[in-house]
A and B are shown apart, each in its own frame.
Chain A
Amino acid sequence: MNRPESVRSVLLSVLSVLTAITVLAAAETADAPTIPVDAAAAGRRIAEEMKRRDAGFGDSLSEATMVLIDRAGGEVRRQFRFSILEDVADAPRSLIVFREPRDIAGTALLAHAHRDRDEDQWLHLPALRRTKRIAVRGRTGAFVGSEFSYEDLVPWALERWTYVHRRDEAFDGRPCHVVEMRPVYADSGYRRQEAWIDQERFQPVRIDSFDLQDRPLKSLRLDDWKRYLDRHWRPQRLRMSNAQSGAATTIDLSPYVFRSGLTAADFTDAAMARAVR
């Protein structure tokens, strides 16, 4: 054999093998995105991956027990049912029906999120026999006296934040991307947030929030993760701690039920009255 030809064939063989390996590797890591060097682009990419990973859950509902813990350790309990509809065309819809305590049992809060404007909210008041649309300008207010604000509970919308990848750091033994998020919508109670995004699941496991003076305000921990439908990770426990007041709130969630057949009709103001009966 001529030397040049033999060299060429060896090279071709090696190239083929390398290509095969590359393709196989790419196939194996199809779900793991590459992170660009630029921090903002990297942050955006991570956020997009978070959205992509969780897309397609359809609807879900869960029973939640919220415990408000004051600085002295005193506790107040709330219970509610939380259902959410993934609206692919627009943005998610959510419905909270309160079960406890007695003073708010039977009230319901409906929210329609939008990509390009503030969400709409309605509050159903059975004893007053009224349903009232309420403004979200109060998003910074405490949700039923807890350390969660309404802003914390509105389903996350990709376009309403900017993202910057700050670093990679382990949290609770799991490697995470630390992404700084800044709201682009008006009236936010936060100047920025830092989120630890699990590198495997692409879900936030910790979010630190900073007030408008950029002082540490609250820290959210999300624990007891379970995987549903082989794809959708959900935390069973959330704990929000207020760094400035010393108070905290925990939310324990029952196992989620996905794709139970909820539709848009279940997330209307008329449906609220049915839901509370």
Chain B
Amino acid sequence: MPSWSIRHPLIVLLAWCTLVAAGGVAVVRQITGARPAIDNSVAVWFMRDDPGLVSYRDFNRAFGEREWSLLLLTTDDILAPEFLQQLDALSDDLGRLPDVSKVVSLTTVRDSETGADDELAYTAVYRPHGSGRRATAEEVTAFAARIAATPMFHGSLFRPGDRQHTVLLIQNANRLDDAGPWRIALVDDVHRLAAACPGVRSHALAGTTVINAELNRASLRDVLVFYALVTALVALVAWFSLRSWRDVIVILAVVTACLLPTMGAISACGLAFNMVTVMLPTILIALSVADLMHFIHAIHCERAGERVAVVAPRCWRALRLPSTLTCLTTIVGFLMLAMSTVGPVFQLGVFTAVGLALAWLATYTLAPVALDALWGRRLAPALPPVLAGWLQRGTRRVRVPALAIVVLSLVAMAGLSRVHTDTDYSRFFRSWTGVARAYDDIAAAGFFQSPLALSVRFPAGSGWTDPAEFRRLVAFEAELRALPAVGKVLTATDLVERAWISLAGAEAARRQPLTALDRRQLDEVVFLGELSGNDDLRDFLTPDRQRCQVVALTAYLSSRALLALRSDIEALFARCFAGSPAQLDVTGTTVLWANMDSHITRTQTFSIAGMVLPLLVLFPIVARSLAVGLIAALVNLLPLACTFGLMGLCGVRINIATTLIGAIALGIVVDDTIHFLGRFRSERAAGRSWQDAIDATRLAIGASAVRTTAIVVGGFATMAVSSFRPTAEFGIFISYALLLGLAFDLYVLPAALALLAPRRDRARVAAPLVRTGAVHEST
């Protein structure tokens, strides 16, 4: 392949330039087009027929595509007339924002009441609401007494006894399929307005809209930062490794040749980037140079003043099998991710595999052409002496380090039992984003930041006003309030009860509560509520009364805790509605995110299993020895186990990003092992003794292994700067896995192979080496 390419350089260059240009055009069209470049909306993460997503869409059809965000305000006194006036203005301003349908605050909250003229109205409890004037002292006193006497308001808007904090409940849009930047704009606008409110000392904003917005923001930031950082890092490491700007140019050319067409393919498929696929450029840049470094190193070692065109075929013959195998194993590692039911993970797997295939092709077509054109007969600089000297040390020097590495790895694996899948999106962002702090502030103030939607569907022929079903529902709501994890329950029952009290009078309502009314009477009370202006009922009750929504406010729960709470609620519902065909659906964006844990676990399991099984077959074949092959497989699996163990010890959970570590790391660490085994076999075939073959292999492969690992680790390590914690954890721990894999390949594998040396081979005389890795003279 390199020979053909060097003989037809123009064709090769034209083909690659066309491919790169096409990819570039597709990317530019996406960036400048109407379609958003980043999409972390809920619908992206699930298959279209995912039961949780289907259920959520059905819920949205019934109650509207809306969700609640919580804005905590801290002030000197929430009942100060001046603050109430400012709060009313702020509520009004927030209510006018695009995508905000309603703001419930101390000054906008409404209640059913009968006025002096016996007129029933659903009207603001705060009398001056909407007028812009300041409340009088008498009005504030009456207002304070009214809200203190109405339990419905406690715990959601204010807490009795706490005069410094109040919460605004903002009902905003929640369009599942809309990837536009409207969430970011909404969150920024809310922050801006709250910060500008004079009486507010500090504020905190929480909700799934906030998290979604920050996901989009982090993704956009990461794609720009990563790309710049990793490109610079690759160029830097390549320069220090190879000491030649010519080789750096070749590396950057190959990187561009595989990256742009891949990104272009994503754009051409109409896909936007998300928090998983933003890692693709970094991964691809880092991995695309792996085989290329081996090839460049081999070329320079062989040349000794000859043209690249002369030595390229020899190097291709020496490298084609291990290079193809390593490329295939890495591609297979990514294709294992394509088995995931999480869309972005699937996309990452498929498109990275495509990119790696292009990188391999570019390495053996474009790189030879570029190297021949740039180098001519010039010699490359010498290997850094420190690295050469270190690699020349023999087996005696590897046993002790190998033992230390294995012992430390076994210690780290003690953390394996602590590894599990658990997702807490409020902790996903670095401190500088303010998201985690906002959730903490709201919790510290005693409020609950996370609304859980419980949708109850009544059977045909009955409904919310069916007395039997209504009594069951009231009992369910009472028991729900008693659950420790539930802080507050918002329900249609409270609103209708207030209307009933206003109609019948407090005393009469106590003697004849709602649960004592027949169906027609209940229907009429609900109707009265609706006609007297209670449009809040529509948030909780469908017009046909067949469905109702109960909102349970909780602290932000991790996915495990949330799924446990869901189980408790479902058991509670089954108990309260025993004998009734009514159905409960616990839904909402947080529930969907929690459901994703099962997809993540499945991804993790299948992707690793999909890599391990082929390796157990591949290594013995490459090594031509079952024992050697199994040793090699173990040498590659131990770093992964150790990495997960370390994650467990550090308290890092398996999440949407760290689930990718297994298959990707495995696909990479096997590369050097395959090169090692291939070279070892060649040395043995050339007549070297077992030990000499190990030493020669270590010397030959070690330098390029160190260089490629440095580049790949450097590339992944750039992800540590992400403001999205899972991405940073992915970058850190996969870098650790790769470094550990290198250590295993350079120390543990040679030491283990030495133990397998047959007695009869130790005295054989070595034949001359093919020079693909020895130290060469400088220019």
Contact = CB atoms under 8 A, between A and B. Distances in A.
B523 A103 contact: yes
B353 to A, nearest CB: 39
A141 B544 contact: no
B530 A144 contact: yes
Q: Which of B115, B533, B538 has the most CB of A within 10 A?
A: B533
A134 B115 CA distance: 10
Nearest to A146: B543
B524 A135 contact: no
A141 B533 contact: yes
Nearest to B62: A70
A138 B122 contact: yes
B634 interface: no
Contacts of A76: 543-544
Nearest to A127: B520
Interface in B115-163: 115, 117-123
Contact of B524 (A68, A101, A128, A142): A128
A103 B543 CA distance: 11
B118 A133 contact: yes
Interface residues on A, range: 35 or more
B177 interface: no
Contacts of A9: none
A195 to B, nearest CB: 25
Given A72-B61, A76-B544, A213 B98 contact: yes
Given A103-B545, A133-B117, A138 B533 contact: yes
Please classify the interface of chain B as helix (H, G, I), strand (E, B), loop, or mixed, using the class held by over half of its residues.
mixed
A85 interface: no
B503 A103 contact: no
B521 interface: yes
A238 interface: no
Interface in A138-152: 138-142, 144-146, 150
B532 interface: yes
A123 B123 CA distance: 17
B536 to A, nearest CB: 10
B64 A245 contact: yes
A224 B584 CA distance: 44
Contacts of A179: none
A141 B544 CA distance: 16
B82 interface: no
A105 to B, nearest CB: 9
Given A107-B527, A135-B123, A128 B521 contact: yes
A17 interface: no
Contacts of B518: 127
Contacts of A3: none
A102 to B, nearest CB: 8
Contacts of A125: 524, 527-528
A134 B119 contact: yes
B525 interface: yes
Interface in A110-145: 121, 123, 125-128, 130, 132-135, 137-142, 144-145
A68 B533 CA distance: 19
Contacts of A101: 544
A104 interface: yes
Contacts of B544: 76, 101, 145
A274 interface: no
A213 B64 CA distance: 19
Given A103-B545, A104-B523, A137-B122, 14 more contacts: A103-B463, A103-B523, A107-B524, A107-B527, A125-B528, A132-B503, A135-B119, A137-B533, A138-B533, A140-B533, A141-B533, A141-B534, A145-B530, A245-B64
Interface of A: 68, 70-72, 76, 101, 103-104, 107, 109, 121, 123, 125-128, 130, 132-135, 137-142, 144-146, 150, 212-213, 215, 245
12 contacts: A103-B465, A103-B520, A103-B526, A123-B527, A125-B524, A132-B528, A134-B120, A141-B533, A144-B531, A145-B544, A212-B96, A215-B98
